[in-house]
Structure 1
Amino acid sequence: MNHDSILELDEPYVVQWLEKLLKTPSPSGYCRQIIAMLQEEVERLGYAVELTPKGNAIITVPGEDTEHVLALSAHVDTLGAMVRSIKANGMIRFTPIGGYAMHTVEGEYCLIHTRDGREFEGTVLSTKPSVHVYSDAKEWKREEANMEIRIDDIASSKQETEALGIAVGDFISWDARTRILSNGWVKSRHLDDKASVAALLGLLKAWKDKGIQPKRTTKMIISTYEEVGHGTAYIPSDIVEMIAVDMGAIGDDLSATEKDVSICAKDSSGPYDYEMTSTLIELAKRLKIPYAVDIYPHYGSDASAALRGGSNIRAALIGPGVHASHGMERTHVQAIVGTAALLHAYTMEPYRE
């Protein structure tokens, strides 16, 4: 295949897997099911998968250059919550997993996952949920102490809720409310970062279908604790470069749109590697992949975690543009496919000393 041509992906496959991922609960620390699902698919495609003790999946794709190993990391864990306590009225007080604003989950449906494998439906509400009852319902501050979960079962007292088997420390996942539209728009919770995971799966399938080998051995790391800051604090010692594949933010003072590949030059952890970022920009220009370069002052990535963990690597950050991150998110299939195409182009480049 022409090195200057864009990689064609199986878009229906990418979209199918994006929907599967989005509909599989996986708040940080509760990722065994989704990792097992990914492992089965990746092994079906013919690639080796290793699971780390903390639950990350590492997919190894041998390349011509086995010395300068490249890592592509995307996280499958999402925002969520955990049961903090059971209140006298049977409601659940919850503690957040990940950094979201409370108003973004008010009114959301959820699942409470008990440790014996059962699930109960619930709804996130303010402790003053009705304007017909509470005169200050609109002004009531949306913070952890003022939020609770109503359980859709016999649960009108602490004793009744405990009798259901719900306990402190049970995980809670939000309803993703996934909608994939025929015009390519995708709106859902947890596009951060399941859109990027779908892009990596699409890349693996394209390599398999077309018999492509990357220039350098490439390890894809699917992490399970990114939202709480230590997703890839450990990475294999043979990795010399790492691209974190994570959503691109959209908003004031930012250039990316939901159809662009975001290339992040700097986030809260500091600037990303100059040469890697420059190469990604050059490749996007050459292949005419819609992209934008942005700065994210309130953002950290798996590459940040690897660097803080002491990894002696170069690092970069790219991903599909996502609007309303950590809320009701939206992206476009074009950005997901473009992300995979740009990653492919980078894996075809020789290592630059």
Structure 2
Amino acid sequence: MKLDLNYTLEFTKEILSIPSPAGYTEKAMERIAQELDALGYSYTYSKKGCLIVKILGKDSNYTRLLSAHIDTLGAMVKKVKKNGRLELINIGGYAWGSVEGENVTIHTLDGKEYEGTVLPIKASVHVYGDIPREMPRIAENMEVRLDENVYSEEDTRSLGICQGDFVSYYTKTKITESGYIKSRYLDDKLCVAQSLAYLKYLKDNNEKPNNNLYIYFSNFEEVGHGVSEIPNDVDEFIALDIGLVAEDADGDEKKVSIAARDNKTVYDLKIRKHLQEVANNHNIKYTVGVYNRYGSDATASILQGADLRYACIGPNVDATHHYERTHIDGIIETIKLLIAYL
């Protein structure tokens, strides 16, 4: 298989640099559209703003849909406080301790951007002693210290900052000499890049998928309704999303994950067996994921009433919904499985 790994990594880094918390994804979608134009693929938009590519396969009697989501975790301004700082409400599921001390950008409705830092409301041990160590990390105990001359609610509002403004966290993306890539929001921007890498593979090798194929770039997965406009001819839905690395998740950053269950449902056994058979036949290294707290665009569609077969695969990632990490080997195994299966 002729894989352009450098293309995948470079696009991953670029798309990670474009803020796109769920609900604030237009700029990132525009970048995907530009890349599809460059690769020579036509596409359409759903009413919710998803990007959809359709590719005719060798056999048109069966149709698959592959999804990857561009939306990420983030936050929204819940309240402008009397001291000029901001109280946030989260977008997507993450622990507040995972973003303590992180720099953020506030995106106002008039297009301005302001920087700040997420801190506990009592951050200094010099002032508060053990309170900063013991205080629960919940939304009410966290605030954004703006890097502006603001000391009151009126000062902050005069900048144009108000309730409902989106907030994005810095990603701190880095690829190490040992082959690890670490960043916030590998979930799921790495998979967006892998989807494009698959499309590039088809072009570079003058190939077609085995069956008709839709590729969906969704934009509301982190809040539970990413793909809700499924074409009637789709028989099978493959969500391309991260696998989990933890003591009780059995993941491996150097392998691709094939999910068996998440907290919404079990995955289709026939499709999972087929994926594992393909991986075995092509010497693709994989793990099988059984997840307690996890969902994908595929299982969300099933709960919305979609009548199709469904599965979920993707690179195994450590410390998901925190400062995430995976390995280049796992990225390669994932793209190899996409090519071999599709």
Map of 2:111 onto structure 1: 117
What is the Cα deviation at residue 159 of structure 1? 0.5
Distance 1:73 1:312 in 2: 16
Matched, 1:269 2:246: no
Give per-residue Cα distances to partners, 1:38-95, cap 9 Å, x unaligned.
0111121111111111111111111122232101111110000000010000000010
Contact 2:46–2:229 (CA<8 Å) still a contact in 1? Answer: no
Q: Matches of residues 38-53 of structure 1 in structure 2 within 5 Å?
A: 38-53=32-47
> Counterpart of 2:247 in 1: which secondary structure?
coil
Residue equivalent to 1:96:
90
1:217 & 1:333 partners in 2: Cα distance? 29
Residue 136 of structure 2 is matched in structure 1 by 141
Q: Which residue of 1 aligns with 2:211?
A: 216
Contact 2:118 2:144 in 1 (8 A): yes
Matched letter for residue 12 of structure 2: L
Matching of residues 1-353 of structure 1 within 5 Å:
7-135=1-129, 136-347=131-342
Instruction: Look up the SS of the partner of 2:288 in the other structure.
Output: strand
| 8 A contact 1:58–1:221 mirrored in 2 | yes
Query: What percentage of aligned pairs have identical amino acids?
Result: 44
Contact 1:124–1:150 at 8 Å: present in 2 too?
yes
Partner amino acid, structure 1, of 2:75: A
Match of 1:236, as an amino acid? P
- CA contact 1:91–1:148 (8 Å) conserved in 2: yes
- Cα deviation per residue 1:175-198 (whole Å; 9 max; x = unaligned)? 000001233210000001111111
Q: CA RMSD in A?
A: 0.9
Specify the code of the residue in structure 1 equivalent to 2:253. E
Secondary structure of the structure 1 residue equivalent to 2:127: coil
Please name the residue that 1:3 is paired with: none
Cα distance in structure 2, aligned partners of 1:25 and 1:19: 12
AA partner of residue 54 (structure 1): K
Greater CA deviation, 121-130 or 281-290?
Answer: 281-290
SS at match of 2:230: coil
* Contact 2:44/2:52 (<8 A) preserved: yes
Given residue 159 of structure 1, which amino acid in structure 2 is its aligned partner?
E
Q: Give unmatched runs, 5+ long, in structure 2.
A: none
Shift of 1:8: 2.4
Instruction: Give the conservation status (yes or no) of the 8 Å contact 1:233–1:307.
Output: no
- In 1, the alpha carbon distance for the partners of 2:300 and 2:109 equals 29
CA contact (8 A) 1:233 1:308 kept: no
Aligned-partner Cα distance in 2 for 1:187–1:319: 16
Distance 2:225 2:13 in 1: 26
What letter corresponds to residue 227 of structure 2 in structure 1?
A: T
The alpha carbon displacement at 1:259 in A equals 0.8
SS of aligned partner of 1:239: coil
Asked if the contact 1:262/1:294 (under 8 Å) is kept, the reply is yes
Q: Secondary structure at the match of 2:226?
A: coil
* Alignment partners' CA distance in 1, 2:61 and 2:52: 17
**Uncovered stretches (5+) of structure 1, i.e. residues with no partner:** 1-6, 348-353
Aligned residues: 341
The Cα offsets for residues 267-324 of structure 1, whole Å up to 9 and x where unpaired, read as: 1112111111001101111111110112001111000111111111100011000000
Amino acid at match of 1:265: A
Partner of 2:156, secondary structure, is helix
Once the two structures are overlaid, the 10-residue window that deviates more, 29-38 or 262-271, is 262-271
